[in-house]
Amino acid sequence: MTDQSSHHPLSRRNFVTTAASGAVLASAGSLMLDPKTALAKAKASKESSSETLSATLYKSLNDKQREAVCFPFDHPLRSKVDNNWHITKPRLGADFDKDQQAMVREIFLKLHSPEYAQKVLGQVESDAGFGKSSIALFGEPGSGKFEFVLAGRHVTRRADGDAVEGTAFGGPIFYGHAGKKFHEAPDHPGNVYWFQAKRANELYQALDGKQRKVALLEKRSRGERGNKTIETKGSIKGMDGLPASELTGDQKDLLHKVLADLLAPFRKKDVDEAMKLIKANDVDKLHLTYYKNENIGEDEVWDVWQLEGPKMVWYFRGKPHVHVWVNVEA
């Protein structure tokens, strides 16, 4: 699939402007709205969480949109994840008005850290175009069971407001990027997420010979099979790779840096929840694995690797470009 993008990221300033205009037009039963009120509503939207904005989006949908993208909270589609898919048929850029598009963009930005939000949005734009994404809403706002999901090429994100118990990010997520081209060079130029693999390879370089023999495997990695990709084992029995319990103190410090980099693109709320679950399941039970035969080039900078625990899968498939599958459970 070739990269294509005909859309450009909408800045937060532009979002405020768009939202203010939309607030004027959407005033219930009136043709005009006081500009100060519109500005206040726009500012409130900017300061709102992804979940609050998702509730506002839900209320803005017309009957046709609601029929196409709204489902009961327990619908099986809610937990689906894949690397290139659409959760519903409508496309953001074609089937939603400008104010709704701006709202979805802001929901997406707020799911990420201030440092990485625009970079991640740029990745979605370059890989397919944000306007080609799809959305779904599960449950009803205010019910305690409500979740927003956005899906497209190289993206599955969720906003659940802790409605989904026992899992980080509201369920399994996916992120990826084809930087300069589909078949990336060994150094992955322009790839938004390659910094994570560089850190993981820094840890590999810190391993001694005996540890490397356990961590570096000749077998193929788990591959990509939709939700089967992120199924957790529930125990460490038969788990491949080097257990974190066999790392030295300095190596464990590097492991924590790997975890920090994996979580760096995401908002603090989700980072805190993920780390709470990872620690509850014992960091020492995480297993680190690199896959020798799926490497790009002969540089021994391993493109395909993973961190796996009894209740966690973080699978980084860096060949031919970056695909990352994530599932962190209680």
DSSP 107-153: HHHHTB-TTTHHHHHHHHHHHT-GGG-EEEEEE-TTSS-EEEEEEEB
- Binning the chain into helix, strand and coil, the percentages to the nearest 5 are 45, 20, 40
DSSP 271-321: HHHHHHHHHHT-GGG-EEEEEGGG-STTS---SEEEEEETTEEEEEE-SSS
DSSP 194-224: HHHHHHHHHHHHHS-HHHHHHHEESS-----
**CA 325 from centroid of its chain's CA atoms:** 9
Cα–Cα distance measured from residue 81 to residue 174, given in angstroms and rounded to the nearest whole number: 7
133 neighbors 152 (Cβ within 8 angstroms): yes
pLDDT score recorded for residue 45: 55
Q: What is the pLDDT of residues 37-91, one digit of tens each?
A: 433 444 445 668 999 999 999 999 999 999 999 999 999 999 999 999 999 999 9
CA-wise closest residue to 108 among 162, 175, 179: 175
Would you kindly state where each structural domain of the chain is located, as residue ranges? 12-164, 194-328
pLDDT score recorded for residue 161: 85
Residue 71, classed as helix, strand or coil, is strand
Q: Tokens 């904005």 belong to which residue?
A: 53
Cα–Cα distance measured from residue 48 to residue 16, given in angstroms and rounded to the nearest whole number: 12
pLDDT score recorded for residue 46: 61
Q: What is the pLDDT of residues 205-217, one digit of tens each?
A: 999 999 999 999 9
Of the two residues 22 and 231, the one the predictor is more confident about is 231
Q: Residue 113 has which token pair?
A: 């850290």
pLDDT score recorded for residue 229: 98
Average pLDDT over every residue of 182-202: 98
Q: What is the pLDDT of residues 131-159, one digit of tens each?
A: 999 999 999 999 999 999 999 999 999 99
| Contacts of 198 by beta carbon, 8 Å cutoff, 6+ apart | 301
CA-wise closest residue to 161 among 72, 80, 48: 48
Q: What is the pLDDT of residues 109-133, one digit of tens each?
A: 999 999 999 999 999 999 999 999 9
1 neighbors 84 (Cβ within 8 angstroms): yes
Q: Residue 206 has which token pair?
A: 């810190």
pLDDT score recorded for residue 24: 33
285 neighbors 255 (Cβ within 8 angstroms): no
Beta bridge partners of 266: 112
Q: What is the pLDDT of residues 254-299, one digit of tens each?
A: 999 999 999 999 999 999 999 999 999 999 999 999 999 999 998 9
For 209, counting Cβ atoms within 10 Å of its Cβ (0-12 exposed, 13-18 middle, 19+ buried), the class is: exposed
Residue 103: φ, ψ to 5°? -65, -45
Cα–Cα distance measured from residue 148 to residue 174, given in angstroms and rounded to the nearest whole number: 15
Whole-number average pLDDT of the chain: 89
pLDDT score recorded for residue 28: 33
List the Cα angle 87/91/97 in 5-degree steps: 130
Q: Tokens 């009957």 belong to which residue?
A: 63
Comparing 96-100, 161-165, 307-311, the range with the smallest average pLDDT is 161-165
Average pLDDT over every residue of 241-253: 98
Note the pTM of the prediction, 2 decimals: 0.87
148 neighbors 103 (Cβ within 8 angstroms): no
pLDDT score recorded for residue 35: 32
